[in-house]
Structure 1
Amino acid sequence: MQKVVMISGASRGIGLAIARELARRGYRLSLGVRDPALLANEFDAFVCPYEARDPEAGRRWVAATVEAFGRIDVLISNAGICKSISLEDGTDEMLEETLDINVKAPFRLIQAALPHLRRAGDARVVQIASLSGKRVKNLNAGYQMSKHAVIALNHAVRRAGWDDGIRATAICPGFVNTEMAAGIADLPPDAMTQPEDLARIVANTIELPNSASVAEILVNCRHEDLF
């Protein structure tokens, strides 16, 4: 039976690359995006409107996916934002937006999908986190806070779902050649990690057996001391 994968933020960048790779491997896709029209004619997939800041969006998307496919085997939480929120000039509004999208939305999405993932017996949850969730390298405190929280969420999912065969992994890249990195990276596009490479990492990870679980994968395009 073909496995059903939910991917948030799948209309561009890393999410789109993951969707393309998993479509190539024969997975059935449920894609949550702000504007479904952006994926018109892109995939033979179920595309659902998904606005991360809407507290009910995750539950609606999960319910629609189960109605369409009858099951959920993999949940990939990819939707996120990166705005500069420093200790000097960050605002409550900016911080709240970042936490809403990067932390609260995946929490709600996982919470809604968890009963269905438990039934699969070998379900997978992937969080697209960041190296900013593993160390503090610049002054973007708000983004770093959010990604540290995503790492904690990943380990919470591992613990909560382990006995039911759920395996959770946080993918933690540095600079990736996407629109998000274009305005902040100090590297040319071809020197960054490519979205397609992350997509292969994600695909290979979700295909590992329950007995070969990987909690975190750190991915960088240049040397960096992390320990």
Structure 2
Amino acid sequence: MTTAACEEGAGRVVLISGASRGIGLALARELLAHGWRVSAGTRQPVTALEEYGADHCHWSPFDARDPASEAAWVAAAHGHFGRIDAIVHNAGILSGKSVIEASDQDFDDIFAVNVKSPMRLTRLVWPHLRAAPEGKVLVIASLAGKRVRAAEGGLYSMSKAAALMLAHGIRHAGETDRIRCTAICPGFVATDMADGVEESIKSQLTQPQEVARIARMALELPATASVAEIPVSWRVETAF
């Protein structure tokens, strides 16, 4: 890690949920390469980050369906690093059901993971973000939270629309404490979720590393630049 990279992150500590693959893993690597220290909250240890060592990277078991794991993660991360400057809500689940097909259980499950867990985690880290020089929250939402493209995406879009409004609620709640919150809203990204698409499309998709670079920018902006949303798409869409 270069001296310049260390200066950019300045030893700041970020919690990233769902950092074992896709956007979460790309973001962890991006931040570690620029001087941040990362606590990854995942269901299994993240072997892909072991090379960074315990001084820079920490892992804690986390399951968005288990509130006890949220409190344990926050306590473990703070105990390991002594501070928390930011949190990235990246963990989430998909649904291919329309709002007509979805059962009450389907609704409860996706909202528990995509909305309620990020809200609880934010409450838990809030005292640490208030103590930080400039606390930051990122919500990895989705363009699906801004429009419904097909019936089978209806339930997922509902949950991401709620996650997007959660980000706005956090942004307003943190105004006086200079805690800034940004919602990153990617479209289709070349993760394992895109394994089944045609090769001609897959080669054009937004890459996880590109979303990670945008997310790092949002985390490193000063509090004088409050950015509410950043929509990202692999193709030109109607303006949001």
| Range with greater deviation from structure 2 (135-144 or 147-156) | 135-144
Letter in 1 for 2:214: I
TM-score (norm 2): 0.89
In the alignment, what sits opposite 1:219?
232
In the alignment, what sits opposite 1:67?
79
User: How far off is 1:181 after superposition?
Assistant: 3.2
**Residue of structure 2 aligned with 1:155, choices 168, 188, 193:** 168
**Residue of structure 1 aligned with 2:146, choices 134, 137, 140:** 134
Structure-to-structure mapping, 1:109-124, within 5 angstroms = 109-124=121-136
- Provide structure 2 residue ranges, at least 5 long, that are not aligned to the other structure: 1-9
User: How far off is 1:95 after superposition?
Assistant: 2.0
**Residue of structure 2 aligned with 1:146, choices 154, 159, 180:** 159
| Range with greater deviation from structure 2 (181-190 or 78-87) | 181-190
| Range with greater deviation from structure 2 (90-99 or 9-18) | 90-99
Note the alpha carbon deviations across 1:84-120, whole angstroms, 9 max, x for none.
1213322222222211111111011111111110111
Letter in 2 for 1:168: C
- Provide structure 1 residue ranges, at least 5 long, that are not aligned to the other structure: none
Does structure 2 retain, via aligned residues, the 8 Å contact 1:85–1:91? no
Write the distance in 2 (CA, Å) between the matches of 1:102 and 1:185: 28
Q: Secondary structure at the match of 2:77?
A: helix
| Range with greater deviation from structure 2 (184-193 or 117-126) | 184-193
Write the distance in 2 (CA, Å) between the matches of 1:178 and 1:128: 14
Alignment CA distance shift 1:41-1:84 (3 Å)? same
Letter in 2 for 1:207: E
Does structure 2 retain, via aligned residues, the 8 Å contact 1:85–1:95? no
TM-score (norm 1): 0.94
User: How far off is 1:47 after superposition?
Assistant: 0.5
Alignment CA distance shift 1:173-1:81 (3 Å)? same
User: How far off is 1:42 after superposition?
Assistant: 4.4
Q: Does 1:200 align with 2:213?
A: yes
In the alignment, what sits opposite 2:3?
none
Write the distance in 1 (CA, Å) between the matches of 2:18 and 2:51: 14
Q: Secondary structure at the match of 2:11?
A: coil
Does structure 1 retain, via aligned residues, the 8 Å contact 2:23–2:212? yes
Structure-to-structure mapping, 1:9-158, within 5 angstroms = 9-36=18-45, 38-39=47-48, 41-44=50-53, 45-139=57-151, 140-158=153-171
Letter in 1 for 2:31: L
Does structure 2 retain, via aligned residues, the 8 Å contact 1:169–1:216? yes
User: How far off is 1:165 after superposition?
Assistant: 1.2
User: How far off is 1:52 after superposition?
Assistant: 0.7
The aligned length equals 227
Q: Secondary structure at the match of 1:41?
A: helix
Write the distance in 2 (CA, Å) between the matches of 1:7 and 1:42: 17
Write the distance in 2 (CA, Å) between the matches of 1:37 and 1:170: 25
What's the Cα RMSD here? 1.7
